[in-house]
Amino acid sequence: MAEKIGKEIGAVTHFFDKIGVAVIKLKAGLKQGEKIRIKGATTDFEQHAESMQVDMKPIAAGKKGQEIGMKVKDRVRPGDAVYIV
């Protein structure tokens, strides 16, 4: 039986490893504090959505179609899927 992950809301397009920030292209809205899971071939962890920014400005929520920067607790890779859990 397939594991229930949650609703896919976007994908990682870039990762800045020195500052631990992922760029995520959103397919659906995401609010600060929501629990997310980032999963890929070698990535799989959960965290709360915090430190979200657009154009270097803090935001409380990201909208569908936006590319947001978010601090992540572990390395992610382009193509990793982002889910709300």
User: HSE (CB half, 13 Å, CA atoms) of 19?
Assistant: 10
- Quick one: pLDDT at residue 3? 62
For 12, the token pair is 């990682």
**What are the CA-CA distances from residue 38 to residues 28, 55, 57 (Å)?**
15, 22, 23
| Domain extent for 21 | 7-84
Q: Does residue 30 form part of some domain?
A: yes
Q: Does residue 39 form part of some domain?
A: yes
- pTM for the predicted model, two decimal places: 0.93
Q: Does residue 14 form part of some domain?
A: yes
Where residue 55 sits, what CATH number does that domain have? 2.40.30.10
Q: Does residue 1 form part of some domain?
A: no
- Residues 37-69 have pLDDT tens digits of 999 999 999 999 999 999 999 999 999 999 999
Tally Cβ neighbours within 10 Å of residue 77: 14
For 52, the token pair is 């979200």
For 42, the token pair is 């070698």
Q: What pairs with residue 52 in β-bridges?
A: 70
Please, are residues 22 and 15 in contact by the beta-carbon 8 Å criterion?
Answer: yes
Q: Does residue 48 form part of some domain?
A: yes
Q: Does residue 2 form part of some domain?
A: no
How many structural domains is the chain composed of? Answer: 1
- Quick one: pLDDT at residue 39? 97
